[in-house]
Amino acid sequence: MRQMLWMSLAGSFLLSHSAAQRSPQEATLKGSWQIVETVSPQGQRNTAPEPSLYIFTDRYYSLQSVTAPRTVPEPRTRGLTDQEKLAAWGPFVAHAGRYELKDNVLSMRPVVAKNPAVMAANGGEGTADIKFDGGSTVYMTAKNPQGATLKLRRLE
C-alpha cells in the first residue's frame, strides 16, 4: 500500500544535470507525462508499466496511474460482484493538488484523492527527489523507505 502511495506521489519518480545547467524549458515539470519505467527499492525494473498520466501546470498537478494489471470485466449484463469491483478499482491511483519544486525536491500536497489515506499521509504532503534528463525525461524517487523510482517521459 505504501509503495502504491509513493509510486503515485512520486510520481513516481531524479538524477542528471543540475538545474543551473539546464535551460528553463528543460527544468520544468509543466506539461503532460507518463510513466515509462519503474524501479523498486530492491532494484526490480519494469520497462512496460501500466497506463498513467501526470499533468503539471505552474502550481497544480493531477495524476492517475494503474498500478497492477487489471482484468477486463465481461459485458455489463449483470452487476459486478464486490470482488470484481475491487479488482477493477483497487490497482488505480488518482490524486490532484498543489506542488512545489525547489532544489530538485518535489513536494506534493493533495487536495483530492481516490484514497483518503493519500490526503492524510504526512499531513497530506509527499516528497520526491527529482532529476531531469534533458527536457523530455524526468526521474522521481519517493523520499521514503518504500520509494520506487519512476521514469517519466514528456507527452507534450
Q: For the purposes of burial, counting CB atoms within 10 Å of the CB of 125, is it exposed (0-12), middle (13-18) or buried (19 or more)?
A: middle
SS3 63: strand
Alpha-carbon distances, residue 47 vs 44, 73, 106, 143 (angstroms): 10, 26, 23, 22
Looking at residue 156, the DSSP 8-state letter turns out to be -
Place of cell 512496460: 48
**Chain segment 49-96, per-residue pLDDT in tens:** 999 999 999 999 999 999 888 776 666 667 778 888 888 888 899 999
Q: Which helix (H) or strand (E) holds 52?
A: strand 52-56
Going along the chain from its start, the domains and CATH numbers come out as 2-69+85-154 (2.40.128.280)
Residue 6 is predicted with a pLDDT of 41
